[in-house]
């Protein structure tokens, strides 16, 4: 990007919680956010969510169903872009670029592997817009942890705030970005987030999530279960570090009440 030049971009995200697609429009010069535009959320219907869940933990090259799921996922992203533009009266020509994350199905940075499904070329054809995708694989291949943009976005948001500070993002997996006085960045996953809570709600009350935090508010910590969860070796590892969607299971809380 030319220094000082601002671009209008649509960012697309299908997160580890698998609740749907988030699309957001911003203007940025790559250093700061100049303007926040409209956002939309397109929920996944339960049948597609089950299909997406069914390809987790598999490398796409060895996954019989991944190609069809990836194609359908891409078309859903194209629909999200169309909805964002049409519902807000934005001309396609006003958008410079679309950032397409796809959906992570397997993340093993210790093996320098990470896999996201989604077809950037198909999305470009379907939307008629320039698309940038596959953000993570080169970062992991070079020894990174595979989320090279999150900390830079946090730094852009916090550009004019006093430092040092930390930005905590509780998504399907939770992560933190620490920004030093001189702008130094340290970013890593802190542990499981909404994904494990969603799995618990689905397992115990047969709902996709703990809506409104109803279960969480009614419950009390179980010391043994908490101790078992915190004994996971991930918490002793030195950052930077990152997690796969399936690195934590519900085994430690098996037998507890939903609350």
Give the rounded percent of residues in the chain with a pLDDT score beyond 90. 77
135 Cβ contact list (under 8 Å, min separation 6) = 99, 101, 148, 149
- Where do the H-state alpha helices sit in the chain? 46-54, 66-87, 120-127, 137-141, 150-157, 194-204, 214-218, 223-230
**Does position 137 have pLDDT exceeding 90, yes or no?**
no
Roughly how many angstroms between the first and final C-alpha of the chain, as a whole number?
Answer: 49
- pLDDT band of residue 38 (cuts 50, 70, 90) is very high
pLDDT at 150: 87
Does 258 score more than 90 pLDDT?
Answer: yes
DSSP 17-29: T-SEEEEEEEEE-
pLDDT band at 145 (very low <50, low <70, confident <90, very high): confident
107-116, 144-153, 202-211, 244-253: the lowest-pLDDT one = 144-153
Once rounded to an integer, what is the mean pLDDT over residues 234-241? 93
Q: Is the pLDDT of residue 146 over 80?
A: no
pLDDT at 135 over 90: no
**Is pLDDT above 60 for 1?**
no
- For the segment 67-101, what is each residue's pLDDT rounded down to a tens digit? 999 999 999 999 999 999 999 999 999 999 999 99
Is 204's pLDDT higher than 90? yes
Share of the chain above pLDDT 70, in %: 98
Cis-peptide, bond into residue 258, ω within 30° of zero:
no
């Amino acid at each position: 990007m030319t220094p000082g030049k601002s671009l209008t971009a649509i960012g697309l995200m299908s997160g580890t919680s698998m609740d749907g697609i988030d699309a957001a429009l911003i203007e940025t010069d790559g250093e700061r956010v100049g303007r926040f535009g409209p956002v939309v959320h397109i929920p996944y219907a339960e049948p597609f969510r089950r299909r997406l869940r069914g390809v987790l933990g598999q490398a796409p090259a060895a996954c019989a169903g991944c190609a069809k799921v990836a194609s359908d996922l891409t078309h859903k992203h194209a629909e999200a872009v169309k909805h964002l533009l049409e519902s807000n009266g934005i001309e396609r020509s006003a958008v410079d670029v679309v950032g397409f994350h796809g959906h992570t199905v397997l993340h093993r940075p210790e093996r320098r592997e990470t896999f996201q499904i989604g077809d950037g070329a198909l999305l470009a054809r379907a939307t008629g817009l320039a698309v940038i995708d596959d953000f993570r694989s080169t970062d992991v291949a070079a020894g990174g942890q595979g989320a090279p943009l999150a900390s830079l976005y946090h730094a852009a948001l916090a550009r004019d705030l006093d430092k040092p500070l930390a930005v905590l993002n509780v998504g399907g997996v939770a992560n933190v970005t620490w920004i030093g006085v001189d702008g130094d960045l340290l970013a890593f996953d802190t542990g499981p987030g909404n994904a494990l809570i969603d799995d618990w709600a689905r397992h115990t009350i047969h709902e996709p999530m703990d809506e409104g935090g109803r279960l969480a508010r009614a419950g009390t910590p179980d010391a043994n279960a908490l101790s078992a969860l915190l004994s996971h070796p991930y918490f002793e590892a030195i950052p930077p570090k990152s997690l796969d969607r399936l690195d934590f299971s519900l085994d430690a809380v098996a037998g507890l009440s939903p609350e």
